[in-house]
Amino acid sequence: MSMDRREFLKIAGAGTILGLAGLGLFERVTEKDIEAVVERYTKDPSAMNAKRWAMVVDLRRFKTEEDYQRIIKACHKIHNVPDFGNPKDEIKWIWVDTYGHAFPGQEHDFLPEWLESKFIPLLCNHCANPPCVRVCPVKATFKSPDGITQQDYHRCIGCRFCMAACPFGARSFNWRDPRPFIKEVNQEFPTRTKGVVEKCNFCTERLAKGLKPACVEESKGALIFGDLLDPDSEVRQVLRKEFTVRRKAELGTDPSVFYIIGGSENV
Amino acid sequence: MKKYVYIGIVVFLVIVTYPFWSVSGKALKKPEPKLDTPEIQKLVEKKCVEPKEFMKREHMKLLNEWRDSALRNGKRVYVNSEGKTFTISLQNTCMKCHSNKKKFCDECHTYAGVTPYCWDCHVAPKEEEGQI
């Protein structure tokens, strides 16, 4: 079959138009399909939402040993945190340390005695610029849209880069199977397994149900929790009123946990 | 010398084919996952989150999607094909009904020779000894 130039261009042009029209149709169908899949997953209407969750630790309200133990126990119990009974294997979501260790560079020889002997409650700072997320080779640890630094234990390979990167020591490694060392297993929350790194998750599973973190609930007002980017939140109201400090802010990780240093009258 | 070579070949063939002839004629028991848990008995409409056939074939994919949705996207509610909603949780949704892990999950997994590592971390429901 012979074809002149004019005939060829006609057929090619018609073919192009048909092809483009078909492509458009195809794209519209797939878009709809994807939408249908996405809509299958929603949030609980009672869930608490925020752009960046944050916490204020009011040291003035930590008066007795019991005040610390109450929040640590509440957290470790619901999250199935094991107690190996030795500091080398210790797993900690909330723990305590001295002022000098919590705020290195801020201590000096003439600190008031009450501050020298005071324990500071510590937890993951849920940094806005978290070094642990940057170094994770498998993206097991990640930043969720509500500002929580989360850990996906399904994906963690136990390389411990995040532990080396975290300047706050907020991460612990499971050197051994934690199961036998959990006194009372909470049937509603998973445990971890040997070979993964774990840490505080700001009670993301509770926020999804509209509950505040367990430690905040148990703290009797010593821990204040809210959205740092909402000017009316509880956290922002406290930050507006009180002088607060953050741990190692000079490192540029932008922590989301603030401390009100005080409590001299308690000692 | 040749004799030993032939004996060696025969011994080798017997050992290599052992897995085949040792089970010939014996049919493996077909897995029968049990659904008679107290929670399921209580249900008026005995339906899983999706139709049975879908769950049989696709439960592993659905569980993967659930995991990513809950953990990565923070969306912890699943809307099924009938528009019903379910909380996304292996321990608090799936296993609340299927409280018989041994007779439900393990029944097929053992048969198929798969060992999913769900239970390394997720806590399996407490099963009393002798309970079906």
Tell me the pLDDT tens digit for each residue of A3-43.
Answer: 899 999 999 999 999 988 887 776 666 656 655 555 789 99
Q: What local confidence, expressed as pLDDT, does residue B24 receive?
A: 80
Residue B70 to residue B39: CA distance in whole angstroms: 24
User: How far is CA A145 from its chain centroid?
Assistant: 10
Identity at A211, one-letter amino acid code: L
Q: How far is A156 from chain B (nearest CA, A)?
A: 12
What pLDDT is stored for residue B96 in this prediction? 93
Structure tokens at B18: 């052992």
Q: What integer is the mean pLDDT of B35-52?
A: 90
CB atoms inside a 10 Å sphere around CB A119: 16
CB-based burial label for A67 (10 Å; 0-12, 13-18, 19+): middle
Which residues from A are below 8 Å from B77, CB to CB? Answer: 41-44
Cβ pair A47:B123 closer than 8 A: no
Q: Residues of chain A with pLDDT > 70: what percent? A: 94
State how beta strands A257-260 and A53-58 pair.
parallel
In 3D space, the residue among B116, B111, B126, B124 whose CA is nearest the CA of residue B59 turns out to be B116
Alpha-carbon Rg for chain A, nearest whole angstrom, is 26
- Contact present, A168 and A247 (Cβ < 8 Å): yes
Look up the pTM and report it: 0.82
Amino acid at A42: T
Helix (H, G, I), strand (E, B) or coil at B93: helix
Longest dimension (CA), chain B: 77
Burial A73-84 (b: 16+ CB within 10 A, else e): bbbbbbbbbbee
Beta bridge partners of A226: A54
Instruction: Read off the pLDDT band of A145 (50, 70, 90).
Output: very high
Distances (CA, A) of A14 to A3, A7, A23, A25: 16, 11, 14, 17
Q: Would you call B76 and A188 a contact, using CB atoms and an 8 Å cutoff? A: no
User: In this prediction, what percent of chain B has a pLDDT beyond 70?
Assistant: 96
Mean local confidence (pLDDT), B27-41 = 87
Q: What value does the mean pLDDT take over residues A184-199?
A: 96
Residue B96, classed as helix, strand or coil, is helix
pLDDT at A161 exceeding the cut of 50: yes
- CA B111 – CA A126 distance, rounded (Å): 44
In chain B, which residues have their Cβ closer than 8 Å to the Cβ of A189?
91, 123
pLDDT value for A28: 66
State residue A171's pLDDT score. 97
Q: Parallel, antiparallel, or unpaired: how do β-strands B77-79 and A257-260 relate?
A: unpaired
Partner-chain contact A44 B125, CB within 8 Å: no
| ipTM metric | 0.81
Say which amino acid occupies B35. L
Q: Which pLDDT score is estimated for A37?
A: 55
Checking if the pLDDT of B31 tops 80, the result is: yes
- What digits encode the pLDDT tens for the residues B63-121? 999 999 999 999 999 999 888 999 999 999 999 999 999 999 999 999 999 999 999 99
**3-class SS of residue A34:** helix
Task: Classify strands A223-227 and A41-42 as parallel, antiparallel or unpaired.
Answer: unpaired
Contact residues on chain A for B70, CB-CB shorter than 8 A:
208
Q: What mean pLDDT is predicted for residues A196-224?
A: 96
Helix (H, G, I), strand (E, B) or coil at A238: helix
Q: What pLDDT does B22 receive? A: 85
**Cα distance between residue A14 and residue A206, in whole Å:** 59
CA distances, A190 to each of A140, A236, B59, B77 (Å):
17, 33, 20, 18
**Chain A CA closest to residue B94:** A188
pLDDT tens string A74-133: 999 999 999 999 999 999 999 999 999 999 999 999 999 999 989 999 999 999 999 999
Q: In chain B, which residue ranges form alpha helices assigned H by DSSP?
A: 2-21, 38-42, 52-67, 95-97, 101-112, 118-121
